[in-house]
Chain A
Amino acid sequence: MSGIVIGNTLRTSWKQILYWGLGLGVLGLYIDFIAMSPDIISGYADLFKAMPPALLQAFGASDLALFTTSEGWIVSIFVSEAAIFLSIFAVMAGLNITANDEQSGVMDVILSLPISRSAYMLERWIGYALIGLGIVVLCALITVAGIIGMNIDAPQDVIFKSIMNLYPGTLLAMTVTCLLTTVLRRRAVAIGASAAFVVVSYVFNVIGASAGGAIADLMESLSYFSYIQGEAFVIGAYDPVDSVIVLIAVLVGFALSLKMFVSRDIGV
């Protein structure tokens, strides 16, 4: 692995860190801004009291008392919304790893060069994984900077860690998209399947968290959103095993992607 493809991927796509990172950072600042006003948060809390727990869950919070604290508000709202936006980035990044170049025909030129398919895919994956990391770090820094700048009484390290916890799930959505493009080949079908994966995962998480019973628990465990533990950092109940499970799923998904990409026809 020479790193040339990683460097090229970063050189051509680094602006995505700015666009996505700044965009999510602005969202973080907006949420910080609301956190300055306890009245607004109390208003939201009163609203949620009258609604089913599932709605609160959809906003990323399971405990109404925690939701009304500054850190609970910021983490619950930001992490749940950023997770959705990052899933969109992840699908786009997953397509960029090989599918877009294959669809356009550029892959014929690339694979006529002295680089193996596996090395190329690995370097592209690493390149986009670094871009994803850059986005998460940037939006976390901006959100924390907002807390400092607006003088909000909230633990900055906890909020930074809880936002960084979005990264494994982003990697998983990117890897699943990459896998789907290598299996399904047709880009449009892969986009549809990837979108379905994200949406179904989100729905499973909401239903699983708001309903009781074995089936609901199973649905929740199958959703990668359920492994993004925003609140857990705030209440000191973060379990690294959840992140490890997601990262293992990433490794397995990437290994399958590599196997498929190396063994099949290109551009057919």
Chain B
Amino acid sequence: MGTESVIEISGLSKSYGSGSKQTLALNRLDLSVMRGEIFGYLGPNGAGKTTTIRLLLDLIRPSAGSASIFGMDIRADSVEIHRRIGFLPGELSLWEGRTGDQIIHYVASVRGDARGIAKHADELAERLDLDKTKRVRDLSSGNKRKLGLVVAMMHSPELLILDEPTGGLDPLVQQTFHDMMDEYRAKGKTVFLSSHVLSEVQAICDRVGILRDGELKAVESVEKITNVEFHWVDVTFRDAVPAGLQGQLENMATITDVSTNGTRIRMRMIGDFDPLLRAISGGYVEMLHVEEPSLEEIFLAFYSGDKEKIQ
């Protein structure tokens, strides 16, 4: 990760409507994204992630504040900025009646190097296992997403802005995408990636910004976020929850929020699984389900009193 900032946001705000109907979608955002890093922009739906991205792309105009990309103003220099970035929208819409090849050729033409870009697009499509000859209307949502990724990446941009990039992609393609992001990082390029999936951000990002209700609550390294990670664990017994198990679990330092419902016991757990597995070995375990915490829970754990409780 370099020391030069690629994205510089200062006091950026966006509100919609007016008077009593005014909604503040983004509130005085300050953020720097450095060259060569993969920055994860995390937040629940409606937190303001897409609004930030649309502001950066000059699709919508800020109510206050400013932002620059590559040191250029996002409004005044938008054409030059767009020449050097690639963008994948969260809700991707493409020309339904046209084939992937036609769309790639058109976008590449607007970018000014149809032949060179199309060659790279072929390579990307092959890696993502995308059939470019099909019309968009005949593509599954996952394949549309792949086409969107090809369009965003085919000119090897210095900065990639990706809004929920892996939604609809199958696990194998997600892995390919993660590899591509690693390659981007290795080439010193920058990625600004929004997501509400923590595991995705953990897998590929260097730093994470956590957005909530339009406000940036924190910018942390992925390691720091990972340290506060916990899991929800559901154990279903064939017969009944063994007597005294709930009390035993409640006394364990790494387990909290234990509740029993029939033959099922649910808890929140951090750290290793071994103590839990030993504790439940007295009964016949029919099902063990481990659930990733929601972003909101991670957020609460990280920034509220829960932080002390789970660490």
Residues on A facing B (Cβ under 8 Å): 2, 4-5, 8, 12, 104-109, 111-116, 263-268
User: Which of A111, A263, A264 contacts B57, CB < 8 Å?
Assistant: A111
Residue of B at shortest CB range from A263? B61
Q: Which residues of A contact B5 (CB under 8 A)?
A: none
Closest 7 CB pairs of A and B: A105-B93, A112-B87, A114-B83, A265-B60, A114-B82, A266-B59, A113-B110
Taking a contact as CB atoms under 8 Å apart, the answer to whether B95 and A114 are in contact is no
Q: Complex formed: what's the CA distance from A107 to B109 in Å? A: 16
Residues on B facing A (Cβ under 8 Å): 16, 54, 57-61, 78-80, 82-83, 85, 87, 89, 91-96, 98, 106-107, 109-112, 148, 151
Q: Which residues of A contact B148 (CB under 8 A)?
A: 109
Taking a contact as CB atoms under 8 Å apart, the answer to whether A104 and B58 are in contact is no
**17 contacting pairs across A/B (C-beta < 8 A):** A5-B110, A106-B93, A106-B94, A106-B95, A109-B93, A109-B94, A109-B107, A111-B59, A112-B57, A112-B85, A112-B89, A113-B107, A114-B110, A115-B82, A266-B54, A267-B59, A268-B16
Q: Which residues of B contact A107 (CB under 8 A)?
A: 59
Q: Which residues of B contact A263 (CB under 8 A)?
A: 61
Told that A109-B89, A266-B60 touch, could you supply 14 new A-B pairs with CB distance under 8 A? A4-B106, A106-B94, A108-B57, A108-B59, A109-B93, A109-B148, A109-B151, A112-B87, A112-B89, A113-B110, A116-B78, A266-B54, A267-B54, A267-B60
Taking a contact as CB atoms under 8 Å apart, the answer to whether A114 and B79 are in contact is yes
A5-B110, A8-B106, A114-B82 are contacts. A104–B60 as well, Cβ < 8 Å?
Answer: no
**Count: A-B pairs, CB below 8 Å:** 73
Q: Is the interface of A mostly helix, strand, loop or mixed?
A: loop
Among A106, A114, A266, the most chain B Cβ lie within 10 Å of the Cβ of: A114
Distance in Å: Cβ of B57 to nearest Cβ of chain A: 5
Distance in Å: Cβ of B136 to nearest Cβ of chain A: 10
Q: Which residues of B contact A106 (CB under 8 A)?
A: 93-95
Q: Complex formed: what's the CA distance from A266 to B58 in Å? A: 9
Taking a contact as CB atoms under 8 Å apart, the answer to whether B95 and A4 are in contact is no
Distance in Å: Cβ of A237 to nearest Cβ of chain B: 46
A112-B57, A115-B110, A268-B60 are contacts. A105–B91 as well, Cβ < 8 Å?
Answer: yes
Taking a contact as CB atoms under 8 Å apart, the answer to whether A104 and B59 are in contact is no
Q: Which residues of B contact A116 (CB under 8 A)?
A: 78-79
Q: Which residues of A contact B111 (CB under 8 A)?
A: 113-114
